[in-house]
């Protein structure tokens, strides 16, 4: 495997694993948030904030992949 092959593999891992991590974070925060909203509806804003923080993980993975591919 050449150096560019390792770079492509690393970029794929960065996007894939960060996507999996983001999906786990969003699933956990939204399912628990919806359960909390049943009792206290004013928590709707916080559920959206925590879901957005989970999405940030995927965006960071994409940025890392772009940085890796920029070095090739």
Segment 19-71, tens digit of pLDDT: 999 999 999 999 999 999 999 989 889 989 989 999 999 999 999 999 999 98
What's residue 56's pLDDT?
Answer: 93
Mention every residue, 6+ apart, whose C-beta is less than 8 A from residue 10.
68
Tokens of 23: 């999906």
Kindly report the CATH class assigned to 3-71.
mainly alpha
Alpha-carbon distance of 55 to 66, in angstroms, equals: 17
CA distances from 38 to 19, 26, 29, 41 (A): 28, 18, 14, 6
* pLDDT higher than threshold 90 for residue 4: no
* pLDDT higher than threshold 90 for residue 2: no
* pLDDT higher than threshold 90 for residue 3: no
Cβ-contact 15, 61 below 8 angstroms: yes
């Amino acid at each position: 495997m050449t150096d560019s092959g390792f770079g492509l593999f690393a970029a794929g891992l960065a996007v894939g694993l960060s996507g999996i991590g983001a999906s786990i974070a969003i699933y956990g925060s939204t399912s628990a948030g919806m359960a909390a909203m049943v009792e206290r509806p004013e928590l709707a804003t916080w559920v959206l904030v925590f879901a957005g923080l989970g999405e940030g993980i995927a965006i960071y993975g994409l940025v890392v992949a772009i940085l890796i591919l920029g070095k090739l």
